Each structure stands twice: as C-alpha cells, then as structure tokens.
Amino acid sequence: MELRGVIERINGSLVITRFEEEPKIGDLVEVGEMGLMGEIVRLSEKTAYIQCYEATSGLKPGEPVLDTGKPLVAELGPGLITTIFDGVQRSESTLWEIAGPFITRGIHIPALDRERRWHFEPRVEAGERVVGGDIIGVVRETEAVEHRILIPPGLRGRIREISEGDYTVVEPVAELETPWGERQELRMMQEWPVRTPRPYKERIPLVAPLITGQRVIDTFFPVAKGGAASIPGGFGTGKTVMLQQISKWADADIIVLIGCGERGNEMADVVTHFPKLIDPKTGEELIERTIIVANVSNMPVSAREASIYLGVTMGEYFRDQGYDVALMADSTSRWAEALRDVSGRLEEIPAERGFPAYLADRIAEIYERAGRVITLGSGERIGSLTILGAVSPPAGDFSEPVTTHTLRFIGTFWALDTELAFRRHFPAIHWLRSFTRYLDVASKWWSRFDPRWEEMRGKALELLEEASEIEETARIIGEKALPDEQRLVLLIAEMIREGFLVQNAFDEVDTYCEAEKQVALLRALMEFYDRTEPLVRKGIPIEKIRGLRVVPELMRLKERRGLEPIERAKAEMEREVRELEEEYREAI
C-alpha cells in the first residue's frame, strides 16, 4: 500500500508532509522529485514529520512524497561480509561506481548485489520439516566465513524442493509448503526491520570473556562474550585505536564496525586502511570477516542515527547463524547528536543538554540487543553479539548525559583518561575509574590457567589503588620521607603500570598478548612483590630492591616473545633475592 503526500515545510533534515490518509510511524518514504530517503518519525493525523537521510537542500514545498508502506529494513544474505555500507545500507563502492566522488542524492540501490552468484550447498533434503531459524544450506562467502542460510523467523513447513547450485540472492533456492498447504519460495536473502530486535529462542548466561589480547581489558576489565562495554574518552585518548585493536584481535567470528562519522576524513581513513589489515588468525585480510557501516558519503547527521540499528541488525543475523559477533560503534556520541538534532527540529521538550528525554531509553534499546542466545530453529545453536560503544564526551567530561546513561546499561566501563594519554600511557584506560560486572564469568575462564587468578588480579588492583593514595602523600612530603614499605608499593605499582598495563598497539610483539602470557606476567610481578615485601619489612633498604637487575627486566618482559623469558626472569629474581638475603643475614 503506497500513500502519497505533499511537502508542506522543510526544516533542515526534517520534512513536514501532508498525506491523503494517515500513514504509519516508522514507514520509509521517498521525498520530493529527487526521491530522497526518509523515515516517518512523528505523526499528527495526516501530517507526518519525516527524518530525511539525505541533504534536503533544493527541496521545495509542494513536491510529492511517497510512503512505501514498509519500515527501514536491512537486507540480509551473502554479500554482507567485506562490504562497506552507509547508514541506510547502500554499498559505498556501488554508490561510487554510479555517482563518483560527489554522490548525488536519491540513489536507490539494493544493499546486496543482485547479479552476483553464490554457490549454495543444501543442508536439508526435500521432505524435511523446517522452522524459522533452521539452516537450509550454506554459502562460502569468504575464506573466513561460511554464511548459513536461515529460514526466516516465523516461517515453517516442509521442504518440497531444494537444490545445490549457483544462485543470486533473489533467486529461489528451495520451495517450502506451509502447514496450510501454501507454497513459498525460499531465497538466500531475507529482510528485517532494523529497529526491531531479531527474535531468538532463549537468552542464556554468559560464560566466557571476549579475549582481546589487550591486557588491561582481558585481565582487569574484561567484557563477556554477549556482553556490552563502553569506552568513553576525550579527543585523542585512544578510542579508535582500541576498537581497531579489538576488531583485529578479539576471538570473535564476525566483526561489525560502525563509524558514526567522528570526522569525515577519519571515516575515510578507516575505510581505506581497515580493508588492508591482515587478520592474524587466518593470514587473510581482516575484511574477510568484517562488515563496515560508515557514512563516508555526504549524508547528513540524521543518517548516522540509522547506522547503529543497521549494524546491530546485521550483527544479530550472524549471531542467529551461530557465530560470536563483536560489534563496535565509534562513536555513539555522534549517534546521540543526530537524535538531538532531530528532536530539536521536532520541537520536543529537551532534557539535559538539549538531548531528548528518551535518550536513556534509546541507549538501553541498543545495548539490550547484546546477548548470548539459543537461536531460533530446531537445534540448540548458540550465538552471541557483544556490543562495544565508544563515547566522546565534550571536553572529556564524563558527567554528560550520553556517558552517564550508557553507564547504566553496560557491563564493562573502560574509562579513558586524558592525563594518561598525555603522558603516553596507552591504552589510557584508567584502572581506578573503570569497572567490570563480568568478573565471575572471567574468573571461571581464567582459573584454568591459574586457580589463583582472581586473587592475583584483586591484589594487583589493590596495590595500584594504594599507590595512588601514597602518591598523594608523597606529593606533600616527598617520596624519600615515606616509609620503605610504602615506597615498595610505589615501585610495584610502577612495575604493574609499565610492565603490564601499558601496551603499545604498534609494537610488533606487544600488540597482542596471549592469555597464558598475561597470566604469567601478572604472576611474575606479584611474586616479585610477595618475595621483596618481607625483605623490606626486615629492614633491607628500598634502594637495594629498586636496584635489582630483574626490576627493569620484569618491565620489559611484555615485549619479549613467549613464556620462556618470563621463566628466566623469575629464576633471576630468585637468585638476586637470595643474594640480598645473604648480604643482610648478619644485619637483620
């Protein structure tokens, strides 16, 4: 059912249109002679307020508007992986082919290539009964990804026909007979409205951390697979580098990267550089298991608003295939600003800092789509979607609404600190202001490497905390005036910071730290403290401890490959400590 309307007024990205009959909220519309894409965001009987996803300059009152009768949907099927989409799922490369660098408006192109053929291998036979969520066949989409073709949610019946072959996404690959005797063709492509979460059978507990190879995350502030995390930080504190590191190294099957246009050139950078990154796991290009949503074309702010939902929907679709998906949004502040912009034009009553009162609900709706689930379908297939969102609070002020609301709905908070970034302590995740609610999940997982993992981690954090208090005092009375026990705490804190927390993303070895090495490093550092603390208590001067050759070595172990150097350093530590004890035996 297509409804027609006429433009009455235009206010930036908002187009006020009078329809012949009352349309539906959320409907996708084509605006003006150019056919710009838009969505109905508010209704007042036959008057619709349309949020336009393309620049509205040149649009005039009196021009026609067509309501498509459908909401904004994502096309789901082979061809998603490796593609860079804009916020309304137009492929950037196709746009470029059609329109060149100055993308003209009103271009309607299908998200998935309609010409390309994919080799479909059936996984069910004619005569079998299937329900929504069942896998009927697979396509080798890239070297890294087997795309599983699913029966769309809600559909069921008996397969009448299915055959192997090369098909486009819109050609039928099978035919289904519903319980009511209707025949229905099954295609590889399905559609899903982006603002509606995709259904699953059951939400299940999170059982494992997402391992990223970044020590401050994995060891101190882990996020669970299927959990949600936020990484807030001012300009230049390392949000983008961290999300890229996670994309590159996390033990997820599929990566969805959403660039909500921090700055235009930055997105262009992601789009040109990211595809060339090599996937350490497969040796292939990382893009082989990645989907990127990035507004590089000259889309207005409002298009950023849609991009998060689009990304999440594609993430859920791969979750439903039984994969662990990690989704990264950089940055959700730009998305929230789009929301604010539209709300302002709708003349809604603003809440804090001009953001609409429903900002918190919208943030919650996004993060609630993270989870670990038993998918639809007759098997017990498990998939997960982990959502990680960067926040860029103006002036690095964490008391602003996007940061504070996000805090309520996520399980892990990686607080980036301007001061640390300034001192080039990277990742600039502040250990005293960050937190994780997934410690239980992580502890269980890590205890396979060391049953005392949680205790060690707790002790390390405690020492860091104690050190920051001691530093306060030291600032007043000077470090030399502190008792040696406290100076040892300062030393161990420095060793934990330099030898463990600091991790250079650009160091060939240290860019990734495997789980076993994380545990071994932490253990070595904590053993150093356990071993030297009694010496200091017995009166051996702190200078002697600080002067041990193993101290600088312990701080450099992270840059050495493998576990062997750690074992050697521990033996060296034992030797040196014995020597010290020997030296002071008489005196003590």
Ligand X SMILES: Nc1ncnc2c1ncn2[C@@H]1O[C@H](COP(=O)(O)OP(=O)(O)O)[C@@H](O)[C@H]1O
Binding site for ligand X (CB under 6 A): 233, 235-241, 426-427, 504-506
Q: What is the three-class DSSP state of 351?
A: coil
Among 168, 214, 240, 321, binds Mg ion (CB under 5 A): 240
Q: Is the CB of 91 or the CB of 331 nearer to ligand X?
A: 331
Query: Residue 414's binding partner, choosing from ligand X, Mg ion, none, with beta-carbon cut-off 5 to 8 A by kind?
Result: none
d(CA 561, CA 413): 30
Q: Is the CB of 197 or the CB of 236 nearer to ligand X?
A: 236
Q: Is the CB of 47 or the CB of 504 nearer to ligand X?
A: 504
**At what angle are helices 453-477 and 484-496 packed, to 10 degrees?**
120
Cβ 276 to Mg ion shortest distance, Å: 19
Q: Is the CB of 27 or the CB of 262 nearer to Mg ion?
A: 262
Query: Residue 487's binding partner, choosing from ligand X, Mg ion, none, with beta-carbon cut-off 5 to 8 A by kind?
Result: none
Interface with Mg ion includes 244 (CB under 5 A)?
no
Q: Which stretch binds Mg ion (CB under 5 A): 255-263, 356-364, 539-547, 562-570?
A: 255-263
Interface with Mg ion includes 89 (CB under 5 A)?
no
Cβ 33 to ligand X shortest distance, Å: 40
Chain position whose Cβ is nearest to Mg ion? 240
d(CA 342, CA 206): 36
Q: Cβ distance 67 to 58 under 8 Å?
A: no
Interface with Mg ion includes 518 (CB under 5 A)?
no
Query: Residue 486's binding partner, choosing from Mg ion, ligand X, none, with beta-carbon cut-off 5 to 8 A by kind?
Result: none
> Could you tell me which of 324, 312, 110, 364 has the C-alpha nearest to residue 198?
312
3-class SS letters over 167-222: ECCCCEEEEEECCCCCEEEEECCEEEECCCCCCCCEECCCCCECCCCCHHHHHHCC
Query: Residue 241's binding partner, choosing from Mg ion, ligand X, none, with beta-carbon cut-off 5 to 8 A by kind?
Result: ligand X
β-pair partners for 73: 193
Q: Which stretch binds Mg ion (CB under 5 A): 233-241, 300-308, 413-421, 558-566?
A: 233-241
d(CA 195, CA 434): 30
Query: Residue 506's binding partner, choosing from Mg ion, ligand X, none, with beta-carbon cut-off 5 to 8 A by kind?
Result: ligand X
Cβ 330 to ligand X shortest distance, Å: 7
- Number of other residues whose CB lies within 10 A of the CB of residue 300: 20
* Amino acid, res. 352: E
- Encoded tokens for 516: 């076993």
> Could you tell me which of 411, 58, 354, 472 has the C-alpha nearest to residue 228?
411
Query: Residue 570's binding partner, choosing from Mg ion, ligand X, none, with beta-carbon cut-off 5 to 8 A by kind?
Result: none
Query: What are the two backbone dihedrals, phi and then psi, of residue 87, each rounded to the nearest 5 degrees?
Result: -60, -20
Cβ 425 to ligand X shortest distance, Å: 9
Handedness of CA 429, 433, 437, 442 (dihedral sign): positive
Query: What are the two backbone dihedrals, phi and then psi, of residue 221, each rounded to the nearest 5 degrees?
Result: -130, 65
Cβ 412 to ligand X shortest distance, Å: 17
Cβ 392 to Mg ion shortest distance, Å: 7
Name the site residues for Mg ion (rule: CB under 5 A). 239-240, 262
